[in-house]
Structure 1
Amino acid sequence: MKTQNNSIVITGGAGGIGQACARTFKNQPIILTDYSQEKVDESVQTLKNEGFNVSGIACDITNTSDIEKLVNYVSEKGSFKALIHTAGVSGTVKDLKKVYTIDLVATELLIDAFHKIAGQGSVAVLLSSMMAHAVPPNEAYDEALKNPQAENSFETVNQFVNGDSDIMYNFAKRGVHLLSHKNADKWGEKAARIVTVSPGVIETPMAMKAAEEHPERMAKIKQATPLKRNGQPEDVADVVNFLVSDAARFITGTDILVDGGVIQNIKNMY
Protein backbone atom coordinates (compact mmCIF):
# COMPACT_ATOMS: atom_id res chain seq x y z
CA MET A 1 0.00 0.00 0.00
CA LYS A 2 1.30 3.46 -0.94
CA THR A 3 1.96 6.02 1.74
CA GLN A 4 1.50 9.76 1.31
CA ASN A 5 5.02 11.00 1.78
CA ASN A 6 5.71 13.85 -0.68
CA SER A 7 8.93 12.55 -2.21
CA ILE A 8 11.63 14.94 -3.43
CA VAL A 9 13.31 13.57 -6.59
CA ILE A 10 16.78 14.93 -7.42
CA THR A 11 18.51 14.21 -10.73
CA GLY A 12 22.27 14.64 -10.70
CA GLY A 13 21.93 13.55 -7.10
CA ALA A 14 25.59 12.56 -6.82
CA GLY A 15 26.76 16.02 -7.92
CA GLY A 16 27.66 19.03 -5.80
CA ILE A 17 24.43 20.98 -6.31
CA GLY A 18 22.28 17.83 -6.15
CA GLN A 19 23.80 16.85 -2.81
CA ALA A 20 23.43 20.38 -1.44
CA CYS A 21 19.76 20.41 -2.47
CA ALA A 22 19.18 17.06 -0.78
CA ARG A 23 20.60 18.37 2.48
CA THR A 24 17.94 21.10 2.67
CA PHE A 25 15.16 18.47 2.94
CA LYS A 26 15.92 17.00 6.34
CA ASN A 27 12.35 15.95 7.11
CA GLN A 28 11.16 14.68 3.72
CA PRO A 29 11.80 11.49 1.76
CA ILE A 30 14.47 12.06 -0.90
CA ILE A 31 15.00 10.00 -4.04
CA LEU A 32 18.37 10.49 -5.71
CA THR A 33 19.11 9.54 -9.28
CA ASP A 34 22.25 9.80 -11.38
CA TYR A 35 23.81 8.01 -14.35
CA SER A 36 25.86 5.54 -12.28
CA GLN A 37 24.27 3.18 -9.75
CA GLU A 38 27.60 3.10 -7.91
CA LYS A 39 27.56 6.89 -7.52
CA VAL A 40 23.90 6.80 -6.46
CA ASP A 41 24.59 4.13 -3.82
CA GLU A 42 27.58 6.06 -2.49
CA SER A 43 25.57 9.32 -2.26
CA VAL A 44 22.58 7.59 -0.66
CA GLN A 45 24.81 6.00 1.98
CA THR A 46 26.50 9.32 2.76
CA LEU A 47 23.15 11.02 3.33
CA LYS A 48 21.76 8.07 5.31
CA ASN A 49 24.76 8.33 7.61
CA GLU A 50 23.79 11.97 8.17
CA GLY A 51 20.26 10.95 9.16
CA PHE A 52 18.36 11.61 5.94
CA ASN A 53 15.42 9.54 4.67
CA VAL A 54 16.89 8.76 1.25
CA SER A 55 16.85 6.10 -1.44
CA GLY A 56 18.07 6.06 -5.01
CA ILE A 57 18.06 4.52 -8.46
CA ALA A 58 20.31 4.98 -11.50
CA CYS A 59 18.78 6.60 -14.56
CA ASP A 60 20.04 7.60 -17.98
CA ILE A 61 17.91 10.72 -18.44
CA THR A 62 18.26 10.54 -22.23
CA ASN A 63 16.59 7.12 -22.27
CA THR A 64 12.78 7.03 -22.12
CA SER A 65 12.57 3.51 -20.69
CA ASP A 66 15.03 4.44 -17.94
CA ILE A 67 12.94 7.53 -17.13
CA GLU A 68 9.83 5.34 -17.02
CA LYS A 69 11.59 3.07 -14.49
CA LEU A 70 12.46 6.13 -12.42
CA VAL A 71 8.88 7.44 -12.45
CA ASN A 72 7.56 3.99 -11.47
CA TYR A 73 10.10 3.84 -8.63
CA VAL A 74 8.96 7.26 -7.41
CA SER A 75 5.27 6.27 -7.66
CA GLU A 76 5.87 3.13 -5.62
CA LYS A 77 7.47 5.23 -2.88
CA GLY A 78 4.33 7.34 -2.46
CA SER A 79 3.17 10.78 -3.52
CA PHE A 80 5.37 13.03 -5.65
CA LYS A 81 6.17 16.52 -4.37
CA ALA A 82 9.10 17.81 -6.42
CA LEU A 83 11.45 17.10 -9.28
CA ILE A 84 14.72 18.96 -8.82
CA HIS A 85 16.54 18.55 -12.11
CA THR A 86 20.24 19.34 -11.58
CA ALA A 87 21.73 16.75 -13.97
CA GLY A 88 23.57 18.07 -16.99
CA VAL A 89 26.89 18.59 -18.72
CA SER A 90 28.91 21.69 -19.49
CA GLY A 91 30.48 22.77 -22.75
CA THR A 92 33.72 21.08 -21.66
CA VAL A 93 32.20 17.88 -23.11
CA LYS A 94 33.09 19.18 -26.62
CA ASP A 95 30.28 17.20 -28.24
CA LEU A 96 27.52 19.53 -29.43
CA LYS A 97 24.86 16.85 -29.91
CA LYS A 98 25.59 15.37 -26.48
CA VAL A 99 25.29 18.79 -24.79
CA TYR A 100 21.99 19.44 -26.58
CA THR A 101 20.61 16.00 -25.81
CA ILE A 102 21.55 15.84 -22.14
CA ASP A 103 20.86 19.46 -21.24
CA LEU A 104 17.70 20.08 -23.26
CA VAL A 105 16.11 16.99 -24.83
CA ALA A 106 16.40 15.03 -21.56
CA THR A 107 14.87 17.96 -19.68
CA GLU A 108 11.75 17.77 -21.83
CA LEU A 109 11.59 13.99 -21.42
CA LEU A 110 11.64 14.44 -17.62
CA ILE A 111 9.05 17.25 -17.67
CA ASP A 112 6.66 15.08 -19.70
CA ALA A 113 7.22 11.96 -17.60
CA PHE A 114 6.80 13.65 -14.21
CA HIS A 115 3.77 15.62 -15.37
CA LYS A 116 1.93 12.30 -15.45
CA ILE A 117 2.34 11.84 -11.68
CA ALA A 118 2.21 15.51 -10.68
CA GLY A 119 -0.68 16.61 -8.51
CA GLN A 120 -1.79 19.61 -6.54
CA GLY A 121 1.26 21.24 -4.98
CA SER A 122 3.80 19.34 -7.08
CA VAL A 123 6.64 21.34 -8.61
CA ALA A 124 9.42 20.87 -11.16
CA VAL A 125 12.54 22.96 -10.50
CA LEU A 126 14.85 22.86 -13.52
CA LEU A 127 18.44 24.04 -13.36
CA SER A 128 19.34 26.30 -16.24
CA SER A 129 22.31 28.70 -16.22
CA MET A 130 23.00 32.40 -16.12
CA MET A 131 24.43 31.88 -19.62
CA ALA A 132 20.88 31.29 -20.90
CA HIS A 133 20.45 35.04 -20.38
CA ALA A 134 23.34 35.71 -22.79
CA VAL A 135 21.31 34.26 -25.69
CA PRO A 136 18.89 36.84 -27.12
CA PRO A 137 15.34 35.90 -28.12
CA ASN A 138 15.16 34.98 -31.80
CA GLU A 139 12.33 33.22 -33.64
CA ALA A 140 14.92 31.58 -35.91
CA TYR A 141 16.03 29.23 -33.13
CA ASP A 142 13.55 29.67 -30.26
CA GLU A 143 10.92 27.45 -31.89
CA ALA A 144 13.50 24.65 -32.14
CA LEU A 145 14.63 25.18 -28.54
CA LYS A 146 11.01 25.00 -27.35
CA ASN A 147 10.56 21.70 -29.21
CA PRO A 148 13.87 19.85 -28.76
CA GLN A 149 12.42 16.46 -29.71
CA ALA A 150 11.14 17.74 -33.05
CA GLU A 151 12.82 16.61 -36.24
CA ASN A 152 15.69 18.93 -37.22
CA SER A 153 15.59 20.77 -33.88
CA PHE A 154 19.27 20.16 -33.20
CA GLU A 155 20.24 20.95 -36.80
CA THR A 156 18.38 24.27 -36.64
CA VAL A 157 20.08 25.37 -33.41
CA ASN A 158 23.45 24.05 -34.56
CA GLN A 159 23.53 26.67 -37.32
CA PHE A 160 23.84 29.44 -34.71
CA VAL A 161 26.60 28.14 -32.40
CA ASN A 162 29.69 28.25 -34.64
CA GLY A 163 30.66 24.68 -33.74
CA ASP A 164 31.32 25.78 -30.15
CA SER A 165 30.09 23.44 -27.39
CA ASP A 166 30.11 26.27 -24.81
CA ILE A 167 27.75 28.30 -27.00
CA MET A 168 25.58 25.20 -27.54
CA TYR A 169 25.39 24.89 -23.75
CA ASN A 170 24.13 28.50 -23.53
CA PHE A 171 21.49 27.83 -26.18
CA ALA A 172 20.38 24.56 -24.54
CA LYS A 173 19.97 26.37 -21.21
CA ARG A 174 17.88 29.08 -22.90
CA GLY A 175 15.79 26.18 -24.13
CA VAL A 176 15.23 25.09 -20.52
CA HIS A 177 13.70 28.52 -19.80
CA LEU A 178 11.46 28.19 -22.86
CA LEU A 179 10.33 24.71 -21.76
CA SER A 180 9.18 26.10 -18.41
CA HIS A 181 7.15 28.80 -20.22
CA LYS A 182 5.72 26.21 -22.60
CA ASN A 183 4.66 23.86 -19.78
CA ALA A 184 3.39 26.35 -17.17
CA ASP A 185 -0.25 26.08 -18.29
CA LYS A 186 -0.10 22.29 -18.61
CA TRP A 187 1.29 21.90 -15.08
CA GLY A 188 -1.05 24.59 -13.83
CA GLU A 189 -4.05 22.52 -14.90
CA LYS A 190 -2.94 20.06 -12.20
CA ALA A 191 -2.39 22.92 -9.69
CA ALA A 192 1.32 22.16 -10.08
CA ARG A 193 4.21 24.50 -10.84
CA ILE A 194 7.30 24.56 -13.06
CA VAL A 195 10.20 26.97 -12.57
CA THR A 196 13.85 27.41 -13.52
CA VAL A 197 16.89 28.45 -11.53
CA SER A 198 19.90 29.95 -13.34
CA PRO A 199 23.11 29.60 -11.31
CA GLY A 200 26.20 31.64 -12.03
CA VAL A 201 29.68 30.27 -11.36
CA ILE A 202 29.14 27.75 -8.57
CA GLU A 203 32.17 26.02 -7.08
CA THR A 204 31.38 22.43 -8.03
CA PRO A 205 33.78 19.94 -9.69
CA MET A 206 32.16 20.74 -13.08
CA ALA A 207 32.75 24.49 -12.65
CA MET A 208 36.29 23.92 -11.43
CA LYS A 209 37.01 21.96 -14.61
CA ALA A 210 35.74 24.91 -16.65
CA ALA A 211 37.95 27.21 -14.58
CA GLU A 212 40.98 25.09 -15.49
CA GLU A 213 40.15 25.38 -19.18
CA HIS A 214 39.36 29.12 -19.13
CA PRO A 215 41.28 30.58 -16.15
CA GLU A 216 41.45 34.16 -17.46
CA ARG A 217 37.76 34.26 -18.33
CA MET A 218 36.78 32.79 -14.96
CA ALA A 219 38.94 35.35 -13.14
CA LYS A 220 37.28 38.16 -15.12
CA ILE A 221 33.83 36.86 -14.23
CA LYS A 222 34.68 36.76 -10.53
CA GLN A 223 36.03 40.31 -10.69
CA ALA A 224 32.87 41.45 -12.52
CA THR A 225 30.58 39.87 -9.90
CA PRO A 226 29.07 42.56 -7.64
CA LEU A 227 29.42 40.25 -4.63
CA LYS A 228 33.08 39.55 -5.58
CA ARG A 229 32.90 35.81 -5.04
CA ASN A 230 31.85 32.64 -6.78
CA GLY A 231 28.75 30.85 -5.61
CA GLN A 232 28.62 27.78 -3.40
CA PRO A 233 26.26 24.83 -3.98
CA GLU A 234 24.33 25.89 -0.87
CA ASP A 235 23.57 29.28 -2.48
CA VAL A 236 21.58 27.44 -5.15
CA ALA A 237 20.16 24.78 -2.82
CA ASP A 238 18.54 27.31 -0.49
CA VAL A 239 16.73 28.96 -3.42
CA VAL A 240 15.62 25.56 -4.72
CA ASN A 241 14.29 24.66 -1.28
CA PHE A 242 12.28 27.90 -1.20
CA LEU A 243 10.83 27.19 -4.67
CA VAL A 244 9.74 23.71 -3.60
CA SER A 245 8.12 25.05 -0.43
CA ASP A 246 4.61 26.42 -0.06
CA ALA A 247 6.18 29.86 0.43
CA ALA A 248 6.64 29.86 -3.38
CA ARG A 249 3.10 28.62 -4.08
CA PHE A 250 2.32 31.46 -6.54
CA ILE A 251 5.60 31.29 -8.47
CA THR A 252 5.56 29.39 -11.76
CA GLY A 253 6.75 29.69 -15.35
CA THR A 254 9.62 31.97 -14.41
CA ASP A 255 13.37 31.97 -13.77
CA ILE A 256 15.41 33.00 -10.75
CA LEU A 257 19.03 34.05 -11.32
CA VAL A 258 21.47 32.96 -8.60
CA ASP A 259 24.62 34.52 -10.00
CA GLY A 260 25.77 37.21 -7.58
CA GLY A 261 24.52 39.77 -10.11
CA VAL A 262 27.27 39.06 -12.63
CA ILE A 263 25.35 38.34 -15.85
CA GLN A 264 24.32 41.99 -16.21
CA ASN A 265 28.00 42.95 -16.17
CA ILE A 266 29.35 40.32 -18.56
CA LYS A 267 26.75 39.91 -21.30
CA ASN A 268 29.02 41.81 -23.70
CA MET A 269 31.74 39.19 -23.18
CA TYR A 270 29.67 36.68 -25.15
Structure 2
Amino acid sequence: MDGMSLAGRTAVVTGGAGGIGRAICADLAALGARVVVADLDLTAAKETAKAFGDTCTALKVDLGDPNDIDRFTTEVGDIDILVHNAGVSIVEPFVDSDPSHWDLMWRINLRAPMQLTRALLPGMTERGWGRLVFISSDGARAGSGGEGAYAATKSGLFGLAKTLAREAAKGGVTSNVVCPGPTDTPMVRKVSESHPGLLDKLAKQIPLRRIGRPDDIAGIVAFLCTDRAEYITGQTLSVSGGITMQ
Protein backbone atom coordinates (compact mmCIF):
# COMPACT_ATOMS: atom_id res chain seq x y z
CA MET A 1 0.00 0.00 0.00
CA ASP A 2 1.42 3.35 -1.04
CA GLY A 3 2.24 5.84 1.68
CA MET A 4 2.71 3.30 4.46
CA SER A 5 6.49 3.01 4.45
CA LEU A 6 8.56 4.79 7.10
CA ALA A 7 11.89 3.95 5.49
CA GLY A 8 14.38 6.73 6.08
CA ARG A 9 12.46 8.11 9.07
CA THR A 10 13.75 8.15 12.64
CA ALA A 11 11.30 7.65 15.50
CA VAL A 12 11.64 8.08 19.25
CA VAL A 13 9.24 6.17 21.47
CA THR A 14 9.33 7.06 25.16
CA GLY A 15 8.55 4.23 27.52
CA GLY A 16 9.50 2.07 24.57
CA ALA A 17 10.34 -1.01 26.62
CA GLY A 18 6.89 -1.23 28.24
CA GLY A 19 3.83 -3.12 27.02
CA ILE A 20 2.29 -0.55 24.67
CA GLY A 21 5.66 1.08 23.96
CA ARG A 22 7.21 -2.19 22.83
CA ALA A 23 4.29 -2.86 20.50
CA ILE A 24 4.62 0.64 19.01
CA CYS A 25 8.35 0.11 18.46
CA ALA A 26 7.63 -3.20 16.73
CA ASP A 27 5.13 -1.68 14.30
CA LEU A 28 7.25 1.36 13.47
CA ALA A 29 10.27 -0.86 12.85
CA ALA A 30 8.17 -3.16 10.66
CA LEU A 31 7.29 -0.14 8.51
CA GLY A 32 10.99 0.58 8.03
CA ALA A 33 11.66 3.31 10.58
CA ARG A 34 14.85 3.60 12.59
CA VAL A 35 13.48 3.39 16.12
CA VAL A 36 15.05 4.80 19.27
CA VAL A 37 13.69 2.91 22.27
CA ALA A 38 13.80 5.49 25.05
CA ASP A 39 13.25 4.19 28.54
CA LEU A 40 14.41 4.58 32.13
CA ASP A 41 15.19 0.84 32.17
CA LEU A 42 18.13 0.67 29.78
CA THR A 43 18.44 -3.13 30.02
CA ALA A 44 14.83 -3.59 28.94
CA ALA A 45 15.26 -0.95 26.23
CA LYS A 46 18.26 -2.80 24.82
CA GLU A 47 16.33 -6.08 24.83
CA THR A 48 13.46 -4.41 22.98
CA ALA A 49 15.77 -2.82 20.42
CA LYS A 50 17.55 -6.11 19.84
CA ALA A 51 14.25 -7.87 19.19
CA PHE A 52 13.40 -5.62 16.26
CA GLY A 53 16.62 -5.57 14.28
CA ASP A 54 19.64 -3.46 13.52
CA THR A 55 17.62 -0.32 12.80
CA CYS A 56 16.58 -0.07 16.46
CA THR A 57 18.72 1.45 19.20
CA ALA A 58 18.22 2.00 22.93
CA LEU A 59 18.78 5.14 24.95
CA LYS A 60 18.19 5.74 28.63
CA VAL A 61 16.20 8.78 29.71
CA ASP A 62 14.79 9.80 33.08
CA LEU A 63 11.67 11.77 32.18
CA GLY A 64 11.38 12.97 35.74
CA ASP A 65 14.67 14.85 35.45
CA PRO A 66 14.68 17.93 33.18
CA ASN A 67 18.48 17.89 33.00
CA ASP A 68 18.49 14.33 31.76
CA ILE A 69 15.87 15.19 29.15
CA ASP A 70 18.20 17.92 27.88
CA ARG A 71 21.03 15.40 27.72
CA PHE A 72 18.80 12.93 25.86
CA THR A 73 17.61 15.40 23.23
CA THR A 74 21.19 16.38 22.48
CA GLU A 75 22.23 12.75 22.16
CA VAL A 76 19.31 11.64 20.00
CA GLY A 77 19.81 14.35 17.38
CA ASP A 78 17.43 14.89 14.45
CA ILE A 79 14.25 12.82 14.43
CA ASP A 80 11.07 12.68 12.36
CA ILE A 81 8.59 10.97 14.70
CA LEU A 82 8.09 11.51 18.42
CA VAL A 83 5.72 9.18 20.27
CA HIS A 84 5.08 10.26 23.85
CA ASN A 85 4.12 6.91 25.30
CA ALA A 86 5.71 6.94 28.77
CA GLY A 87 3.46 7.57 31.73
CA VAL A 88 2.99 6.82 35.38
CA SER A 89 -0.24 6.28 37.30
CA ILE A 90 -0.70 6.13 41.05
CA VAL A 91 -4.22 5.02 42.00
CA GLU A 92 -5.67 6.63 45.12
CA PRO A 93 -8.82 8.58 46.01
CA PHE A 94 -8.13 12.22 45.24
CA VAL A 95 -8.93 13.56 48.72
CA ASP A 96 -6.45 11.07 50.19
CA SER A 97 -3.81 11.53 47.51
CA ASP A 98 -0.23 12.55 48.21
CA PRO A 99 0.79 15.84 46.54
CA SER A 100 4.25 14.38 45.95
CA HIS A 101 2.52 11.87 43.66
CA TRP A 102 0.90 14.77 41.80
CA ASP A 103 4.34 16.22 41.18
CA LEU A 104 5.72 12.92 39.89
CA MET A 105 2.84 12.45 37.46
CA TRP A 106 3.03 16.08 36.33
CA ARG A 107 6.75 15.76 35.58
CA ILE A 108 6.51 12.51 33.64
CA ASN A 109 3.06 12.66 32.05
CA LEU A 110 2.95 16.29 30.97
CA ARG A 111 6.10 18.30 31.60
CA ALA A 112 8.39 15.77 29.93
CA PRO A 113 6.35 15.69 26.68
CA MET A 114 6.35 19.49 26.66
CA GLN A 115 10.12 19.67 27.12
CA LEU A 116 10.89 16.93 24.60
CA THR A 117 8.65 18.47 21.98
CA ARG A 118 10.04 21.95 22.50
CA ALA A 119 13.54 20.60 21.83
CA LEU A 120 12.79 18.25 18.93
CA LEU A 121 9.93 19.90 17.04
CA PRO A 122 11.99 22.74 15.46
CA GLY A 123 14.07 20.23 13.52
CA MET A 124 10.93 18.61 12.12
CA THR A 125 9.46 21.89 10.93
CA GLU A 126 12.78 22.93 9.39
CA ARG A 127 12.87 19.71 7.38
CA GLY A 128 9.19 20.03 6.44
CA TRP A 129 7.94 16.71 7.84
CA GLY A 130 7.14 15.33 11.26
CA ARG A 131 4.75 13.35 13.41
CA LEU A 132 3.84 13.92 17.04
CA VAL A 133 1.71 11.29 18.77
CA PHE A 134 0.70 11.65 22.41
CA ILE A 135 -0.55 8.61 24.32
CA SER A 136 -3.14 9.83 26.80
CA SER A 137 -5.95 7.76 28.31
CA ASP A 138 -9.69 7.30 28.09
CA GLY A 139 -9.57 7.84 31.85
CA ALA A 140 -8.47 11.39 31.09
CA ARG A 141 -11.40 11.89 28.68
CA ALA A 142 -14.14 10.37 30.80
CA GLY A 143 -12.74 10.36 34.34
CA SER A 144 -11.59 7.34 36.27
CA GLY A 145 -12.06 6.58 39.95
CA GLY A 146 -8.81 6.84 41.87
CA GLU A 147 -6.97 8.54 39.03
CA GLY A 148 -7.71 12.23 39.54
CA ALA A 149 -4.12 13.47 39.30
CA TYR A 150 -3.29 11.01 36.53
CA ALA A 151 -6.32 12.11 34.51
CA ALA A 152 -5.45 15.76 35.09
CA THR A 153 -1.92 15.38 33.78
CA LYS A 154 -2.90 13.17 30.85
CA SER A 155 -5.75 15.48 29.83
CA GLY A 156 -3.21 18.28 29.54
CA LEU A 157 -1.90 16.48 26.47
CA PHE A 158 -5.14 17.27 24.63
CA GLY A 159 -4.60 21.00 24.71
CA LEU A 160 -0.89 20.68 24.00
CA ALA A 161 -1.41 18.42 20.98
CA LYS A 162 -4.14 20.61 19.46
CA THR A 163 -2.09 23.76 19.90
CA LEU A 164 0.91 22.11 18.27
CA ALA A 165 -1.30 20.87 15.43
CA ARG A 166 -2.09 24.50 14.65
CA GLU A 167 1.40 25.88 15.19
CA ALA A 168 3.35 23.18 13.35
CA ALA A 169 1.06 22.60 10.38
CA LYS A 170 3.01 25.00 8.15
CA GLY A 171 6.08 22.86 8.75
CA GLY A 172 4.41 19.66 7.60
CA VAL A 173 4.07 18.28 11.12
CA THR A 174 0.92 16.58 12.42
CA SER A 175 0.01 16.24 16.08
CA ASN A 176 -2.55 13.78 17.44
CA VAL A 177 -3.58 12.05 20.66
CA VAL A 178 -4.38 8.36 21.09
CA CYS A 179 -6.39 7.34 24.15
CA PRO A 180 -6.21 3.68 25.13
CA GLY A 181 -9.09 2.22 27.03
CA PRO A 182 -8.51 -0.63 29.51
CA THR A 183 -5.46 -2.40 28.11
CA ASP A 184 -3.55 -5.47 29.31
CA THR A 185 -0.22 -3.89 30.28
CA PRO A 186 2.17 -4.47 33.19
CA MET A 187 0.90 -1.24 34.80
CA VAL A 188 -2.73 -2.41 34.63
CA ARG A 189 -1.78 -5.88 35.84
CA LYS A 190 -0.08 -4.33 38.85
CA VAL A 191 -3.22 -2.37 39.73
CA SER A 192 -5.40 -5.46 39.27
CA GLU A 193 -3.30 -7.44 41.76
CA SER A 194 -4.87 -5.47 44.58
CA HIS A 195 -8.33 -5.59 42.96
CA PRO A 196 -9.11 -9.26 42.19
CA GLY A 197 -11.47 -9.73 39.27
CA LEU A 198 -10.99 -6.16 38.03
CA LEU A 199 -10.01 -7.12 34.49
CA ASP A 200 -12.94 -9.51 34.11
CA LYS A 201 -15.33 -6.83 35.34
CA LEU A 202 -13.89 -4.31 32.90
CA ALA A 203 -14.15 -6.75 29.99
CA LYS A 204 -17.86 -7.26 30.64
CA GLN A 205 -18.44 -3.50 30.28
CA ILE A 206 -16.69 -3.29 26.90
CA PRO A 207 -18.89 -3.82 23.81
CA LEU A 208 -16.20 -5.95 22.17
CA ARG A 209 -16.05 -8.00 25.38
CA ARG A 210 -12.32 -8.03 25.92
CA ILE A 211 -9.54 -5.93 27.40
CA GLY A 212 -7.38 -4.15 24.86
CA ARG A 213 -4.02 -5.50 23.78
CA PRO A 214 -0.89 -3.39 23.20
CA ASP A 215 -1.07 -4.25 19.48
CA ASP A 216 -4.48 -2.56 19.31
CA ILE A 217 -2.88 0.73 20.32
CA ALA A 218 0.26 0.31 18.24
CA GLY A 219 -1.64 -0.09 14.98
CA ILE A 220 -3.30 3.32 15.06
CA VAL A 221 -0.10 5.00 16.29
CA ALA A 222 1.87 3.54 13.39
CA PHE A 223 -0.78 4.64 10.90
CA LEU A 224 -0.75 8.20 12.22
CA CYS A 225 3.00 8.29 11.58
CA THR A 226 2.68 7.45 7.88
CA ASP A 227 2.07 9.62 4.83
CA ARG A 228 -1.42 8.10 4.52
CA ALA A 229 -2.36 10.03 7.66
CA GLU A 230 -0.93 13.37 6.54
CA TYR A 231 -4.39 15.02 6.57
CA ILE A 232 -5.17 13.96 10.16
CA THR A 233 -4.05 16.42 12.81
CA GLY A 234 -5.36 17.89 16.04
CA GLN A 235 -7.46 14.79 16.70
CA THR A 236 -8.08 12.68 19.79
CA LEU A 237 -8.73 9.01 18.98
CA SER A 238 -9.96 6.41 21.44
CA VAL A 239 -8.93 2.77 21.15
CA SER A 240 -11.23 1.28 23.74
CA GLY A 241 -13.31 -1.53 22.29
CA GLY A 242 -16.28 0.83 22.36
CA ILE A 243 -16.39 1.47 26.11
CA THR A 244 -16.21 5.17 25.28
CA MET A 245 -17.96 6.58 22.24
CA GLN A 246 -18.65 10.03 20.85
Give the TM-score of the pair, scaled to structure 1.
Answer: 0.78
Structure-2 residue corresponding to 1:122: 130
| Cross-structure match for 2:172 | 191
For the pair 1:97 / 2:103, whether they are aligned, the reply is yes
User: Is the 2:199–2:211 Cα contact (8 Å) retained in structure 1?
Assistant: no
Q: Distance in 2 between matches of 1:70 and 1:118?
A: 17
Give the 3 Å change call, closer, same or farther, for CA 264–191 of structure 1 in structure 2: closer
TM-score (norm 2): 0.85
* Aligned pairs (5 A) from 1:1-270: 5-24=8-27, 25-26=29-30, 27-47=32-52, 51-75=53-77, 79-92=78-91, 95-119=101-125, 120-135=128-143, 166-215=147-196, 217-264=198-245
Please list the CA deviations of residues 226-246 of structure 1 after superposition, one character each: whole Å capped at 9, or x if unmatched. 100001000000000100011
- Any gaps of 5 or more consecutive residues in structure 1? 136-160, 266-270
State how far apart, in whole Å, the 1-side matches of 2:197 and 2:38 are.
34
User: What is the DSSP-based 3-state SS (H/G/I as helix, E as strand, rest coil) of the residue aligned with 1:91?
Assistant: coil
Please give the alpha-carbon distance, in whole angstroms, between the structure 1 residues aligned to 2:179 and 2:138: 5
How far apart are the structure 2 equivalents of 1:194 and 1:167?
A: 25
Q: Which residue matches 2:95?
A: none
Q: Distance in 1 between matches of 2:161 and 2:196?
A: 32
Q: 1:195 Cα deviation (Å)?
A: 0.7
**Are residues 263 and 216 of structure 1, via their aligned partners in 2, closer, same or farther at CA, if it must alter by over 3 Å?**
farther
Q: Distance in 2 between matches of 1:204 and 1:197?
A: 16
Per-residue CA deviations over 1:92-118 (Å, capped at 9, x if unaligned) read 486222122211121211221221221
Identity of aligned residues (%): 29
Letter in 2 for 1:201: P
Deviation at 1:5, TM superposition (A): 3.1
Kept after mapping to 2: 8 A contact 1:194/1:252: yes
Distance, in Å, in 2 between the alignment partners of 1:222 and 1:229 is 5
The structural deviation recorded for 1:216 is: 5.2
- In structure 2, how many angstroms separate the alpha carbons of the residues matched to 1:178 and 1:220? 32
Q: What number of residue pairs does the alignment pair up?
A: 229
- SS, match of residue 43 in structure 2: helix
- Structure 1: how far apart are the matches of 2:102 and 2:121? 28
Unmatched runs of 5 consecutive residues or more in structure 2: 1-6, 93-97
Residue 52 of structure 1 and its aligned partner are, at CA, apart by 4.7
The letter of the residue matching 2:140 is A
Q: Considering only aligned residues, what root-mean-square deviation do their CA atoms show, in Å?
A: 2.3
The match for 1:139 is none
